[in-house]
A and B are shown apart, each in its own frame.
Chain A
Amino acid sequence: MKEIKISVENFSLFYGNKQALKNISMDIYANRITALIGPSGCGKSTFIRSINRMNDLIDSVRINGRIVIDGKNIYDKEIDVVNLRKKIGMVFQKSNLFPMTVYENIVFGVKINGLRDKKKLDEIVERSLNNAALFEEVKDRLHTPALSLSGGQQQRLCIARTLAIEPQIILMDEPASALDPISTAKIEELIHSLKQNYTVVIVTHNMQQAARVSDHTAFFYIGELVEYDKTSKMFTKPSIKQTEDYVTGRFG
């Protein structure tokens, strides 16, 4: 039986008068990779940003419905957004490292949370880099500027930095779209290995990538969730014509 990690219930989101998400309901499973696909402007990025309340930063945003994580509606008034975001790491399309060393980038979050013990910090750095499949490549460069790493390494460092705060959920918004095929393959392998310990939600424009990495796929179109099913089914026998037309490249 699959455990539900995130339960989205009749969730709608408006930017001013414009409705960007229309009554979305779906269950996202623990220790699974869920891919969100759909043409530009379909709402998939808005949706992923709703899961860690990133959209709160935009003044005109208004929501209806609930997103329940571990039994609690994250939009309830008593929810502490900072604590919520500790549970939910996020990786973006372009790596957004701090202009610091590799080491400092990884420990930045945990230091803010109060951890100062050098030995523990060292452990966190090694574990996070190992889990992000980067340790071997950068172990001799921990104290060099993070921005001197290659694009693929920088992106894996972003993932390592996310893992350092030990989140339960990792959101990825096009994590490999700016990378070459070899770096992309490494990130994809990494995403696979992450699901042992984390629940991963990934937005991707690359349909083959969604097919390769995810267990479940959700197809969004103009703010609506058109179809959500096992990835193997979505790419072999989708139930809805619109999904079939999209995954076969007939529109979008």
Chain B
Amino acid sequence: MERQFEIQIEKLRTRLIKMCSLVDEQVEFALKAIDEGNPELAELVIERDDKVDKYDVKIEKVCQKIFALNQPVAMDLRLIMSSLTINTNLERIGDLAVNLAESVTELGKKPGFFDKTRLKEMSILSREMIKNAIDSFIENDPELAQKVIKSDDDVDELDRANHTILKEIMKENPENVEPGIALLEVSRHLERLADHATNIAEDVYFIVEAQMIKHKYEKYLFSEDEGDDESSND
């Protein structure tokens, strides 16, 4: 007989996976809207954010119920704790998709004033990181999670390069300031997408390997030192 607790856990996972695919699609549509300069698609992303928010609340409620009724420990505790933070990160990714969609009109005002190759590259990388982070959660795959974490530096570097170049362009001509700021924001949103994907990957690693690697992943990934901070009841 399947235990009531396992039914609840399955329910939680199903909801999270549904939220993952919705958020992933939101990002896909937002980036496509920017790429094609498509305000209708951007509008659709903005409208659907409500749905993301509803999932956010539903998932929190399931977690709250499991904590209150089952007092989970060990791997179950890690899953529920991480589900809450993964949920928050997914909701923030949803918000960033909206922010990106909102910039479509502004970006359309002065097309071609900036070489968008780097932005395109950032979009592809961030999107791939989100997809891999989600897959690592669905498949319980810590190696894929590590791959996501390692990619974050590349996105950060592209963002920094965008800042340097856009600053120079804006200095050249005051007319460049408005579109320049819009592009800076897009770059920042893409960088934040990658950060949230990284957070999710760190949680997946924690669920599967019982090891917290956030904030010190380089130390973990590139050295043998486990750096485990055992809390004690002493």
Contacts and interface: CB of A to CB of B under 8 A. Distances in A.
B234 A215 contact: yes
Nearest to A216: B233
Interface stretch (B72-80, B84-92, B119-127, B132-140): B72-80
Contacts, number: 40
B113 interface: no
Interface residues of B, number: 16
B74 A232 contact: no
B230 interface: yes
Interface in A48-94: none
A235 B75 CA distance: 9
Interface stretch (A96-104, A105-113, A149-157, A243-251): A243-251
Contact of A248 (B75, B210, B231, B234): B75
B5 interface: yes
By size class, the interface of chain A is 10 to 19
B3 A215 contact: no
B10 to A, nearest CB: 14
A232 B232 contact: yes
Contacts of A235: 73-74, 77
A207 B74 CA distance: 12
A12 interface: no
A248 B76 contact: yes
A214 interface: yes
Interface string A130-173: 00000000000000000000000000000000000000000000
B71 interface: yes
A233 B73 contact: no
Contacts of A231: 233
A232 B75 contact: no
Nearest to A211: B73
A238 to B, nearest CB: 6
B74 A230 contact: no
B90 to A, nearest CB: 24
Interface of B: 3, 5, 71-78, 210, 230-234
Interface of A: 32, 207-208, 211, 214-215, 230-233, 235-238, 244, 247-249
